[in-house]
Amino acid sequence: MELIKGGRTFYGESIGILTLDTKFPRVPGDIGNASTFNFPVRLKVVKNASIDRVVKKGDPSLLEPFIRAARELENEGVKAITTSCGFLVLFQDQLARAVNVPVFTSNLLVVPLVYKLTRKRVGIITACSETLTDEHLKAASIDENIPTAIVGLENKSEFRRVILENSNDMSQNKIEKEVVETAIMLVEKHPDVGSIVLECHNLAPYSAAIHDATKLPVFDIVSFTNFIHNNVIKKRFTGFL
């Protein structure tokens, strides 16, 4: 009988999620809610990685804490690592080099693929368009050859209060309304948009509502995570011939 080797005290969590240090509610569908997924995930908070430091300031001093946390997740047995904020794309290359499992820091990474699939302008909804820079886009391999239209949620009152200002309560209905309004405005202003990519990893709970309102494909971090999971954890096919 083949021996099964151990070395850890727990097993079975396939995806590791590096989360910002926040207090706002993580509703089902959010990357920070474990019930969002149909497989085990392991969440690890990076202390002092606040919305202000990551989204508003792009603080480079957070790189080392994120590398340490990623290595901890790898040592704890995860097969791939993601994050709770798309602005962490600035750390994509460094984190990928620091561990030996796949790292996908941001849903922005899907933009080149989405454009390749549609050959139409890609609409991007971000938490804060004021601080989403060309540096972020470059880190995701989004260049001038990929047409985009970017809109932010920083001026939406409930989203700003809850997410950007890190409130410990929220009206999910109000946020969904604000996100859908933003998506509709995006496609009305840019009728050549052929898909929508959600930079903000807290927007996945509203993907279906955006799709219903715009009739466009909507790409979020949860679907991206499911894709990665299905490639690092393979299921054998069974059935009848």
Domains in the chain, start-ordered, CATH in brackets? 15-106+225-232 (3.40.50.1860), 107-220 (3.40.50.1860)
pTM (predicted TM-score): 0.95
Q: Read off the pLDDT of residues 155-186 as tens digits, 9 standing for 90 and up.
A: 999 999 999 999 999 999 999 999 999 999 99
**Whether the Cβ atoms of residue 193 and residue 187 lie closer than 8 Å to each other:** yes
**Whether the Cβ atoms of residue 114 and residue 197 lie closer than 8 Å to each other:** yes
CA–CA separation, 20 vs 29, rounded Å? 17
pLDDT band, very low/low/confident/very high, at 212 (cuts 50, 70, 90) = very high
* 9 has a pLDDT exceeding 90: no
Q: Which residues contact 69 (CB under 8 A, 6 or more apart)?
A: 18, 44, 46
